[in-house]
Chain A
Amino acid sequence: MLKPFTSALLLQSGYNAALVAVGAALLGFAAGSGGAFMFLRKRALVSDAVAHATLPGVGIAFMVMVTLGADGRNLLGLLLGSALSAGIGLLAVEWITRRTRLAEDAAIGAVLSVFFGFGIVLLTIIQTMSRGKQAGLEGFLLGSTAGMVFEDALIIAVGGACTIAALVLLRRPMTLVAFDPEFAAASGVSVRTVDLAMMGLVLAVTVIGLKIVGLILIVAMLIIPSVTARFWTDRTERLLGIAGLVGGASGYAGAAISASAPDLPTGPIIVLVCFGLFIASLLLAPNRGVLASILRHRRFQVRVHRRQGLLALARGEPILDPLTLAVLRRAGLIRNDGVATEAGRAQSAKVLRDERRWEIVRQIHQNEAVSGRYDGLTPIEAVLTRDEIAEIDRRIGRPVPAEGAA
């Protein structure tokens, strides 16, 4: 398993496998960064409608080419047809959302199912045509890389490059529209045009991806990389880059894995590799990842328990909560039998005094931001200057030994 995989990864397991791997990587990059804006605009599923709407175009293009006497399987012709019908589907979604009371999700679902159903009708017609038997148009449903030739890879490469170029050129207006459409409109950017351009990019990626991933799974390549990238950054430019890398890496690795063994269809493998990257990011990403937020929660919990424990020590109340005891013990503030150490007594006295100081602060600055920062955890030194604290201390009076302290 490993040997064929590494040789496929290094582009050494045959011409076709290398072609597919490079094509899939390019496609993944274009799809990842192309889908990013749809994700930021919160319209990720529009690409689902676009992808399904390609099917009738493929069928019609095949029939037209056969009628004209050409080879019905010409990839460029099929892609042109699919782009045309996907464009019509896209405009239909836009038109339904704008002109009727139906919400966008209903429009997406309607276009998706109707175009796909019509495409299936066309496919069954083609199957009964004399030259349609060997058309292999079903390959467009789930992608088929078996018969890929150099021209196909070239089409994918050129299409991917054009998509990325358009993305780089249009990134400013698209960022603007994605984050604040009202402001964009007010500053003279035509939101509708930019939206259509965004979807045009998605359309281009979809059409290019038909051959490798197929129209049902290309949606995954448009959505998953940008969702994955979102875990790692808060900046649009980086999001585009990371999404592209995630898409490219999963395309390349997926193609290599699928070349390493029989019965591993390329499209699904690419999608699953991408999903694996997504799950890893969901769990491990700094800041937005699940692990990071568990750690953050844990740290917060420790702070709360430490402070409540110190307050209880200072007031001479018994501590019963096992977590509080463990936290204090680990910090060396109490001994194993629950009696406060020297450090524990000092810190609890300080905490109690801070609590008293906060009380005064909240009386003085009743309606000000300072009082709002009282959450029982923020140290008072983080909010007030030393002089202000000294002034408060003057009101409280000198420190007195807390009850329970020796």
Chain B
Amino acid sequence: MGAEFVQLSLTPLAIGILAAVACALPGNFLILRRQALIGDAISHVVLPGIVVAFLITGTISTWPMMLGAAGAAVVAVVLIEAIRRLGRIEPGAAMGVTFTSLFAAGVLLLEQSDTSSVHLDVEHALYGNLESLIWLSADGWGSLLDPQALADLPPELGRMAVVTLLIAVLTAVFWRPLKLSTFDEGFAKTLGIPTGALSLGLVVTAALAAVAAFDAVGSIIVIAMFICPPAAARLMTNRLEVQVAWSIAFAAVSAVLGYVFAGYGPLWFGGNDAVSAAGMIATVSGMILGSACLFAPHRSRVGVPPEPEQT
């Protein structure tokens, strides 16, 4: 079990956990600011960004694609804001117009360009291929100390670790202004905190998380991890510190359980092929959120009776 586990499952699990945590961290603030769907929009526009980067460079290499995706995310945010202001349209609809159109453009570009020789298609963009990120040269736990085997780790692991660390550091550094401006923007402004820049920074950080995770695990996990773990955590507590801790725990648990269910679940039911790990991770995070909605201690609104009378 040991050798096979290290070779086949250790790296996908680690990448899954890192991606989930990287998305859940900014997700906490997006949820509280009622911008949860920014994550949805970003993960859609990543596709045209990547396709354009591919068309320009002609190769599938990581950094141009990351740049392209991040560029597309910024373009989308600017477009949403422009449409909202110029057309005086409510933000939700402006967002809907922007990300669907950009996604359509991405699909069209993809179909038009000759990408048959490389591994780039819509399905891959949507649900990634976590299972394929295996560590071939590992032959047991000892490989973790073997520099030769370590050099052969999937590059996604290193990138994801760097991005997750960066996001964690950013969250810690900007914790106080972020918390203040999330809960009371007017007060934060009077203290001299640049709330506009902070808000844009949060979106860019979310885009960074989305792009890095997208590269490894596909966009569906990205949306699920932006929203489900922080939303479930929101129902557990009234303190932001505790909420973030819960959300990280939920994200990690979803990644682990989702991966295990996807890989071994079908075997328990007599099947012999694994199912999509990305989809399973999203499903598990949904189940966690569902149970939180039913049983979490702080699930109802403050000041509302447990069974609200609706008209």
Neighbouring B residues of A119 by C-beta, 8 Å: 279
Total A-B pairs, Cβ < 8 A: 215
Q: Are A117 and B100 neighbours in the complex by a CB distance under 8 Å? A: no
**A230 touching B89 in the complex, CB below 8 Å, given contacts A114-B285, A117-B224, A120-B220:** yes
| A-facing residues in B233-290 (Cβ within 8 Å) | 234-235, 262, 266, 271-276, 278-283, 285-286, 289
Pick from B90, B105, B283: contact of A121, CB under 8 Å: B283
Complex CA distance for A192 and B34, rounded to whole angstroms: 22
Q: Are A121 and B293 neighbours in the complex by a CB distance under 8 Å? A: no
Neighbouring B residues of A282 by C-beta, 8 Å: 83, 86-87
B88 within 8 A of A: yes
Q: Are A121 and B34 neighbours in the complex by a CB distance under 8 Å? A: no
Q: Are B93 and A98 neighbours in the complex by a CB distance under 8 Å? A: no
Q: Are B293 and A275 neighbours in the complex by a CB distance under 8 Å? A: no
Q: 1/0 per residue A140-153: CB within 8 Å of B?
A: 01100000000000
B262 vs chain A, min Cβ distance (A): 7
Neighbouring B residues of A45 by C-beta, 8 Å: 37, 92-93, 95-96
Q: Are B96 and A223 neighbours in the complex by a CB distance under 8 Å? A: yes
Complex CA distance for A192 and B311, rounded to whole angstroms: 7
Q: Are A120 and B278 neighbours in the complex by a CB distance under 8 Å? A: yes
Residue of A nearest to B271 (CB): A128
Q: Are B293 and A96 neighbours in the complex by a CB distance under 8 Å? A: yes
Q: Are A275 and B104 neighbours in the complex by a CB distance under 8 Å? A: yes
Q: Which of A48, A103, A106, A119 has most chain B Cβ within 10 Å?
A: A106
A278 within 8 A of B: yes
Pick from A121, A191, A263, A267: contact of B280, CB under 8 Å: A121
Q: Are B224 and A105 neighbours in the complex by a CB distance under 8 Å? A: no
Complex CA distance for A44 and B92, rounded to whole angstroms: 6
Residue of A nearest to B276 (CB): A124
Q: Are A268 and B300 neighbours in the complex by a CB distance under 8 Å? A: no
Say what secondary structure dominates the interface of chain A. helix
State which size class the interface on B falls in. Answer: 35 or more
**A128 touching B96 in the complex, CB below 8 Å, given contacts A100-B300, A217-B103, A282-B83:** no
**A220 touching B87 in the complex, CB below 8 Å, given contacts A121-B279, A272-B108:** no
Q: Are A110 and B86 neighbours in the complex by a CB distance under 8 Å? A: no
Q: Are B224 and A114 neighbours in the complex by a CB distance under 8 Å? A: yes
Q: Are B111 and A109 neighbours in the complex by a CB distance under 8 Å? A: no
Q: Are B275 and A267 neighbours in the complex by a CB distance under 8 Å? A: no
B285 vs chain A, min Cβ distance (A): 7
Q: Are A142 and B34 neighbours in the complex by a CB distance under 8 Å? A: no
A23 vs chain B, min Cβ distance (A): 18
Q: Are B39 and A114 neighbours in the complex by a CB distance under 8 Å? A: no
**A224 touching B123 in the complex, CB below 8 Å, given contacts A96-B293, A114-B224:** no
Pick from A42, A116, A120, A268: contact of B104, CB under 8 Å: A268
B227 within 8 A of A: yes
| B-facing residues in A126-142 (Cβ within 8 Å) | 128, 138, 141-142
Q: Are A141 and B275 neighbours in the complex by a CB distance under 8 Å? A: no
Pick from B111, B224, B272, B283: contact of A265, CB under 8 Å: B111
Additional A-B contacts beyond A101-B301, A116-B282, A121-B262 (14; CB < 8 A): A42-B92, A45-B96, A100-B301, A109-B39, A113-B223, A113-B224, A113-B228, A114-B283, A124-B275, A219-B96, A264-B112, A268-B111, A272-B101, A290-B86
Chain B residues close to A by CB (< 8 Å): 31, 34-37, 39-40, 44, 83, 86-90, 92-97, 100-101, 103-105, 107-108, 111-112, 122-123, 126-127, 220-221, 223-224, 226-228, 231, 234-235, 262, 266, 271-276, 278-283, 285-286, 289, 293, 298-302, 308, 310-311
26 example contacts (A-B, Cβ-Cβ < 8 A) are as follows A42-B93, A44-B93, A48-B96, A99-B293, A100-B235, A102-B234, A108-B37, A109-B39, A109-B223, A112-B223, A113-B286, A114-B228, A118-B283, A120-B127, A123-B276, A123-B279, A219-B96, A220-B97, A223-B100, A231-B87, A263-B111, A263-B112, A268-B107, A271-B100, A271-B104, A278-B101
Chain A residues close to B by CB (< 8 Å): 39, 42-45, 47-48, 95-96, 98-103, 105-106, 108-110, 112-121, 123-125, 128, 138, 141-142, 185, 190-192, 216-217, 219-220, 223-224, 226-227, 230-231, 263-265, 267-269, 271-272, 275, 278, 282, 288, 290
